Amino acid sequence: MKCLIKALDIGWAMAQSCIFLKDIWLTDSPLLHLSTSLVPPADADLSIQDYRTIAQDGNWEKQEDGLPDCVKDKLRGTWISGTADSVEWKLSRKGSCRSRSKMEDEIKNLINVWILIALSLCYSYFLSSKIPKGKFRLLSLLPIFSLFAVLPLGLTYAFPTALTAFFITWLANFKLLLFSFDLGPLSPPTMSLPLFIATACLPIRTKQPHHHNHSQPPPSQEKPPKTKKSSLNLAAETAVLSFLMGAVHHHRDVLHPKIVLTLYCLLVFLMVEVILSLANAAAGALMAVELEPPSDEPYLATSLQDFWGKRWNLLVSNTLRHTVYKPVRSVSAAHIGRRWAALTAVMASFVVSGLMHELLFYYVTRVSPTWEMTGFFVLHGVCVVAEMGVKRAVSGRWRLPWVVSWPLTVGFVVATSFWLFFPPLTRSGADVKVIGEFKCFGDFATRNLFLVVGKIIS
């Protein structure tokens, strides 16, 4: 009971912080500067210098002379009083500097979306679970699959849209697909409703008892169990992420494009690592369950098979293994044999991953797909299949040393991301939009962290 009360206190503090974010979004000069800097100067209705001049003087009438009519109209509609402390800004060109009404609408939309998610998962828990596994339970969940596919379209901000699409449209739908056949992380009959909802809508995976089989190495060859990420490591990664976000945001125009793309690689790694680790830490603390680590030092991978299968984003790898790899291998083994079935299943997993990434990017950019993202994963799938064939041919008789295999692996992932992964983002401007929103959220979190910390300590 004490833990529940403490969790409610923390949640209330976070809710108050969110309300405060809405209130300060457009009254804080650094945030205003950040938002306005996301659009070309010609597209801004009013310059930062005009704003500062009026705010410092505190008298609209003295500043009216000499300003364009469009600026006068904008100021008359947004000026509230004659003091600098109560200036409220409502620039809304191209959605870069959000107005108060748009922020309020987005918060309402986000709340409505997650209420629908919670209700849908309650339906799955109380009703669909009572239907026998198989096609009838799958049919009962089809409305949920459809709803989860369209929910991200109700959001406009890039960052919450991306998170909702990843957590719900991809992971939750795939987990519910497994649940239709009494498989996957949602199937244990003793699972409580809170754990069911958290497991479905968060990127977490509870630890399962480890059973050895013919496809796994003997215990003597297994890697030691990965320990949970320490709070110090997570704090360091968060600090580096915040620093790089600021550096890219403020100096992107003067950096060489290849340097920017290299920084984007680091940002993608750190952002995924921090978000998944925070979800793991929060879920583990509130529900007292032991969770699998989200990744295992992917920057140390010595092969593409090692990178995609054992190190990078293990939750997605495990989800694809159960929803795509195993079914495709099982079906195709009867027609082409187990050896070729495994390679076909690997290729199918990469194709599905590419299509899901293409869908996620569509939610964020709202532009027609160029299929470069799918091409990135298809290319890596082909290379993983070739790598598996070579390993099988040499049968362990010859192996590249670590000093060669490591830079080749990391270099290939980085080079192909420059070629196929990032161009769809940079062309649409989604990279600037996400970094700007993330930076604003970071500024807000830095200023208001003490609200939550105070509740935790008290």
- Tens of pLDDT, residue by residue over 286-299, are 776 667 788 888 99
Average pLDDT rounded to a whole number, residues 117-121: 94
Between 22-26, 63-67, 140-144, 191-195, the lowest mean confidence (pLDDT) is in 22-26
Quote the percentage of the chain above a pLDDT of 90: 38
pLDDT recorded at residue 187: 86
What count of other Cβ atoms lies within 10 Å of the Cβ of residue 261? 20
Q: Using CA atoms, how far apart are residues 264 and 251, in angstroms rounded to an integer?
A: 13
Average pLDDT rounded to a whole number, residues 343-366: 94
Q: Using CA atoms, how far apart are residues 263 and 431, in angstroms rounded to an integer?
A: 12
Q: Are 416 and 265 in contact (CB under 8 A)?
A: no
Residue 115 has pLDDT above 90, yes or no: yes
Residue 255 has pLDDT above 70, yes or no: yes
Residue type, 61: E
The secondary structure of 181-211, three-state, reads: CCCCCCCCCCCCHHHHHHHHHCCCCECCCCC
Token representation of residue 408 = 């080749």
Residue type, 437: E
Q: Using CA atoms, how far apart are residues 290 and 207, in angstroms rounded to an integer?
A: 6
Q: Are 339 and 393 in contact (CB under 8 A)?
A: no
Summary mean pLDDT of the chain: 75
- List of residues 6+ apart from 154 with CB closer than 8 A: 109, 112, 113
Residue 141 has pLDDT above 90, yes or no: yes
Which of 172 and 452 is assigned the larger pLDDT? 172
pLDDT recorded at residue 176: 95
- Taking the whole predicted model, whether its pTM rises above 0.75 is answered as no
Q: Comparing C-alpha atoms, which of 382, 357, 383 is closest to residue 371?
A: 357
pLDDT recorded at residue 207: 67
**Predicted confidence (pLDDT) per residue in 298-340, tens digit:** 999 999 999 999 999 898 999 999 999 999 999 998 888 888 8
Q: Are 244 and 431 in contact (CB under 8 A)?
A: no
Where does the pLDDT of residue 431 fall: very low under 50, low under 70, confident under 90, or very high at 90 and above? confident
- List of residues 6+ apart from 193 with CB closer than 8 A: 122, 125
Quote the percentage of the chain above a pLDDT of 70: 66
Residue 41 has pLDDT above 70, yes or no: no
What count of other Cβ atoms lies within 10 Å of the Cβ of residue 231? 10
Q: Are 332 and 341 in contact (CB under 8 A)?
A: yes
Residue with tokens 């694809």: 320
Average pLDDT rounded to a whole number, residues 266-287: 85
Residue with tokens 């495709």: 328
Cα-Cα-Cα-Cα dihedral sign, residues 416, 204, 359, 178 = positive
